Amino acid sequence: MRSLFLLTAVALAGCAANDGPARQEALAAVPGKAVGEPVTCIQQRDVDRVEAVNDYVAFFHMRGSRVYRMDFPQSCRGLKHDAFKHSSSIAQYCRGDIITTFDTTTKMTTGSCGLSSFTPWELPPKGE
């Protein structure tokens, strides 16, 4: 099984079981708009970087200009502080996959989070 370590400025850490109104508020606060139907998988090789928006949303910036928004099913606490690794035999990030987060200094595991569908997303121009 191929293990991919993606070290980014993104922190992906432990998930909470039930986030209710906090999740809805965080999802609504994300800038931009959907520009297509969600897909279940994206190719790892096409991902340029991952950006944590908050504990519930990450943007997967692809090579070129495409961006996918991925909403975590539950809070992925500490999203901006750790890195994550993902093991897959098909070299894709897919809905239902689990990522394992770790501290980049100690290399200790800090949690796990499930992925959901990836929605093509248009971000507002910088400065708006």
* Mean of all residue pLDDT scores within the chain: 82
Spatial contact of 52 and 72, defined as CB atoms under 8 Å apart = no
- In this prediction, residue 31 has a pLDDT band, given cuts at 50, 70 and 90, of very high
Closest CA to 72 of 17, 127, 7: 17
Higher local confidence (pLDDT), 111 or 12 = 111
Is the pLDDT at 16 greater than 70? The verdict is: no
pLDDT digits (tens, 9 = 90+) for 115-127: 999 999 999 988 7
CA dist 113 and 16 (Å) reads: 9
pLDDT digits (tens, 9 = 90+) for 88-97: 788 999 999 9
CA dist 2 and 89 (Å) reads: 5
- Please state, as a whole number, how many other Cβ atoms lie within 10 Å of the Cβ of residue 117: 17
The mean per-residue pLDDT over the stretch 101-108 comes to 86
